[in-house]
């Protein structure tokens, strides 16, 4: 077994010591090191399952770590300036989306414009 794999496996065992196998939360640095090693091994022709066994990680977990990151949840939005004067300002509205995003301080019309632009 390669020295880097042995060291990584040892680090992962220390992280998992005394924890249930499904309750281990590996630090980001450990995950990044495992992913870098897995990608290097894949380029050399080794299988992902072999790499998972070598570092002591389950195949589905390693597969998830190596997979490309998801697209960001936010998209850029451009608002056009208001050309007509606003007659009266209503009380600010607060919107909390199911994903946990919070929009505050906008009046109702501006909030509707932002939501339409996000569609």
CATH 1.10.10 fits 3-66, yes or no: yes
Phi, psi of 67 (to 5 degrees): -60, 150
What pTM value is reported for the model? 0.56
- How far apart, in whole angstroms, are the C-alpha atoms of residue 105 and residue 21? 45
List the domain boundaries for the chain.
Answer: 3-66, 72-119
Q: What DSSP letter does each residue of 12-67 carry, written as one string?
A: HHHHHTTS-GGG----HHHHHHHHHHHHHHHHTT--HHHHHHHHT--HHHHHHHHS
- How far apart, in whole angstroms, are the C-alpha atoms of residue 78 and residue 119? 13
The rounded mean pLDDT for the chain is 84
- How far apart, in whole angstroms, are the C-alpha atoms of residue 114 and residue 119? 9
Query: pLDDT for 40-96, tens place per residue?
Result: 999 999 999 999 999 988 899 999 999 977 677 788 888 888 787 766 655 667 778
Query: pLDDT for 11-46, tens place per residue?
Result: 888 888 888 877 888 888 999 999 999 999 999 999
The CB density around residue 62, as the number of other CB atoms within 10 Å, is 21
What pLDDT score was predicted for residue 52? 92
Q: Which is higher by pLDDT, 32 or 118?
A: 32
């Amino acid at each position: 077994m390669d020295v880097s794999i042995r060291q990584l496996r040892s680090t992962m065992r220390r992280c998992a010591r005394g924890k249930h196998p499904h309750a281990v939360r590996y630090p980001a640095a450990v995950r990044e090191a495992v992913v870098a090693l897995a990608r290097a091994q894949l380029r050399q022709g080794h299988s992902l399952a072999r790499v998972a066994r070598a570092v002591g990680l389950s195949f589905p977990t390693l597969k998830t770590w190596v997979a490309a990151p998801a697209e960001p949840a936010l998209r850029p939005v451009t608002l056009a300036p208001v050309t007509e004067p606003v007659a009266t300002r209503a009380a600010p509205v607060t919107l909390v989306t199911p994903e946990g995003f919070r929009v505050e301080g906008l009046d109702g019309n501006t909030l509707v414009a932002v939501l339409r632009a996000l569609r």
